[in-house]
Amino acid sequence: MDQRSNRAEIIDHLSFSLILGFASGIVFEAVVHVSPYVFIGIGIVCFVFGVFLKAKSIQQKVLFGGIFIFAAFLGGSRLSASRPDPSVFAGVVGQAASITGMAEEPIVKTTGVQFVFDTPSGVNISVSTVPGMHIHYGDAVTVSGPLELPQNFLTDQGTEFDYISYLYKDDILYVMRHANAEVLSSGHGNWIVAHLIPLKERIVQSFRRVLPEQDADLLAGLNLGEKSAIDKDFRNDLVATGTIHIIALSGYNVTIVANALRDFLVDVLGLSARIAGIFGGVGIVLFVVMTGLQSSAIRAGAMALIGLFARGKGRTYNAFRALLFAGFLMILWNPKYLVYDVSFQLSFLATLGIMFITPILEHSFRRVPRKILFIFTLRELMSVTLGAMLGVAPFILYKMGTFSFISLIANIAVLPAIPFAMGFGFLAGVVGWFSIGLAYPLAWVTSKLLLYVTTLVTFFAKIPYASVTLKHVSLLLCLSLYGIIVMLVFRAWREYDEKK
């Protein structure tokens, strides 16, 4: 091994020790609920000891171990520092309260307006108003109503939804239902977000101009992650068939947008790779911000930005390193993503499955045709879908208690139409800004593609025992299943390397 390779390997080990240690410290502090300051003495001693010794094998291990322990201390401290103060408003729980703060992006429903309410104390409140309230992002608002603690609830599948953790990742400790809201002033939010939200609303309105309401709502879910207006029964069908990710603005949707943007800038506009990378990066950031900074979208967007940077510098893009770096930046910014955000966890696990399981499956499926009708990449679609499924299945069983037997077939049948529906739908919406007549052909194609998706999802969901619900799946079983998957993947990779 030459000196450059040895240096690169050491850097990889140092980076892995830092990231894994930081993440372990977050998990330790979250699970044990004990401040990790006990790590500080051991961490500093190991770090100093490792730095001042010569770079031999045993000393390197001491160095990596010291960095791991010290990073664990930093990770636990970061989570501890990010926790909102639970004593704020604790004295008025169960009573009528009047609180002033700023409104985040609202969701308008027939029953009222729902929004996250930021208070000066750093403790957020989930507010649902009475009908007739008019709230916009960045409004300084006084809300009045009964203040309550959030409670977990049962889903339609009969499993418990951890609503408390779902809110806690955004520093939301309280809920206020049937509240009255008085707008004091406007324009207090982020300037960029304040201009992107109306753009998103205009895009959704354009979808509704050129498409039937149900199709427009589904298209808004595919392109923008707007799933609040999607029919409840159809959403349950998406869950039953394992295709709910298509409206969750997962990495799959962001990748489609990033690839389409890159192809447009390079192939259509003829920009150089460097200039296209700059404009593409800005476009990805604006898209992720406009769609609400969902954690799965942030992860996919960060990886896409790293890929653009690597290509612009003429460097090799390593997807695993990009995933670790993107994840590290995210938990550095908000450590609660790691332990309280199911979307982040699923996105990370699915990506790992695609990286390490998909290549094995693709090799195993070598007798499956690469393409059908010269368009649909059957082998790749089967491998990627199954790889992502195996990556998330144990965690879904543990966290949600559901397992879809029909998921692989449903995804293979549905996913080929998604990029075309997103593309034609977006073009129909843009053209619809100027002329509904000119947008009609595009809207017609989009409607047929969405009809194909909804028909298949509904069909597969009605198959008996398409999905099962298992209650009280233990964490030990989840970890055991992942242990089995890791061993099988490791063995498969080793056999694959030996055959080369």
Q: What is the pLDDT of residues 323-358, one digit of tens each?
A: 899 999 999 999 999 999 988 998 899 899 999 999
Least confident of 351-355, 461-465, 469-473: 469-473
Q: What average pLDDT does this structure show over 156-160?
A: 71
Q: At what angle do helices 213-224 and 191-210 cross, to 10 degrees?
A: 140
Q: How far is CA 75 from CA 37, 71, 78, in A?
A: 11, 6, 5
Integer Rg of the chain from CA: 24
What pLDDT does 444 receive?
Answer: 94
C-alpha to C-alpha distance for 428 and 223, rounded to whole angstroms: 12
Banded pLDDT at 244 (limits 50, 70, 90): confident
Spatial separation of the C-alpha atoms in residues 482 and 4, rounded to whole Å? 35
pLDDT at residue 52, as a whole number: 46
Is pLDDT above 60 for 457? yes
List all residues 6 or more positions away from 498 whose beta carbon is below 8 Å from its beta carbon: none
Q: How confident is the model at residue 459 (pLDDT cuts 50, 70, 90)?
A: very high
Q: Give the confidence band of 6 by pLDDT, cuts at 50, 70, 90.
A: low
Residue 265 per-residue DSSP state: I
Sorted by sequence, the CB contacts under 8 Å of residue 353 that are 6+ apart come out as: 387, 388, 389, 390, 391, 392
For the ranges 24-28, 271-275, 305-309, the maximum mean pLDDT occurs at: 24-28
Helix, strand, coil percentages, rounded to 5, for the chain? 65, 10, 25
Spatial CA neighbour of 290 closest among 361, 200, 227, 373: 200
With contact defined as beta carbons under 8 Å apart, do 63 and 52 qualify? no
Q: How far is CA 308 from CA 272, 274, 276, 304, 469, in A?
A: 12, 9, 9, 6, 41
Which candidate, 24, 12, 20, 19, places its Cα nearest to that of 60? 12
| Tokens matching residue 166 | 């779902």
Q: Within 13 Å and on the Cβ side, how many CA atoms surround 58?
A: 0
Three-state DSSP class for 242? coil
What's the pLDDT at 55? 45
Q: What is the mean pLDDT of residues 271-290?
A: 80
Q: Which two tokens stand for residue 468?
A: 């099962």
Confidence of residue 121 (pLDDT cuts 50, 70, 90): confident
pLDDT above 80 for 210: yes
Looking at residue 83, the DSSP 8-state letter turns out to be S
Q: Which two structure tokens, joined as six digits, stand for 101? A: 């703060």
Instruction: Choose from 183-197, 238-252, 286-300, 360-374 the range with maximum mean pLDDT.
Output: 183-197
Q: Which of 144-153, 256-265, 353-362, 470-479 has the lowest mean pLDDT?
A: 256-265
Question: How wide is the angle at C-alpha 199 spanned by C-alphas 223 and 251, nearest 5°?
Answer: 30
What's residue 54's pLDDT? Answer: 42
Give CA–CA dist 19/77, Å, rounded.
Answer: 14
User: Which pLDDT belongs to residue 305?
Assistant: 82
Q: How many CB atoms lie within 10 A of CB 432?
A: 23
CA–CA separation, 62 and 42 (whole Å): 12
Type of residue found at 324:
L
Burial class (CB in 10 A: 0-12, 13-18, 19+), 281: buried
Asked if pLDDT for residue 374 goes beyond 80, the answer is no
Q: What is the per-residue pLDDT across 290-332, written as a single tens digit (0 to 9) for each?
A: 888 888 888 888 888 887 777 766 677 788 888 899 999 999 9
pLDDT digits (tens, 9 = 90+) for 70-109: 888 888 889 988 998 888 888 888 888 899 999 998 988 8
pLDDT (0 to 100) of residue 460: 92
Helices and strands (H, E) in the chain, number of each type: 19, 10
With a cut of 70, say whether residue 403 has pLDDT above it.
Answer: yes
Mean pLDDT over the full length of the chain: 83
pLDDT for 196 beyond 50? yes
CA–centroid distance for 174 within its chain: 24
CB atoms within 10 A of CB 365: 16
Alpha-carbon distance of 197 to 190, in angstroms, equals 11
C-alpha to C-alpha distance for 221 and 200, rounded to whole angstroms: 12
- 3-class SS at 249? coil
Q: What is the pLDDT of residue 466?
A: 80
Coil, strand or helix: which one is 349? helix
What pLDDT does 53 receive? 46
What are 175's strand-pairing partners? 126, 148
- Tokens for 63? 């160095």
Question: Which string of b and e fits 23-38 if b means at least 16 CB within 10 Å?
Answer: bbbbbbbbeeeeebee
Residue-level pLDDT at 47: 53
CA distance linking residue 118 with residue 115, whole number of Å: 10
Q: How many CB atoms lie within 10 A of CB 388?
A: 27
For the residues of 118-179, what is the DSSP string, one character each? E-TTS-EEEEEEPTT----TT-EEEEEEEEE----EE-TTSPEE-HHHHHHTTTEEEEEEEE
Q: How far apart are the first and last CA of the chain?
A: 20
Residue 157 confidence (pLDDT): 67
Structure tokens given for 66: 């010291």
Tell me the C-alpha distance between 319 and 304, whole Å: 10
Q: Which residues pair with 468 in a beta bridge?
A: 403
CATH 3.50.50.60 fits 90-191, yes or no: no
pLDDT at 137: 92
Asked whether residue 437 carries a pLDDT value surpassing 80, the answer given is yes
**Out of 11-15, 26-30, 313-317, 361-365, least confident range:** 313-317
31-78 confidence digits (pLDDT tens)? 776 544 455 544 555 555 554 444 456 666 677 777 888 888 888 889
| pLDDT band with cut points at 50, 70 and 90 for residue 436 | confident
Mean of pLDDT values over 236-243: 86
Flag whether pLDDT at 218 surpasses 50: yes
How confident is residue 495, by pLDDT bands cut at 50, 70 and 90? confident
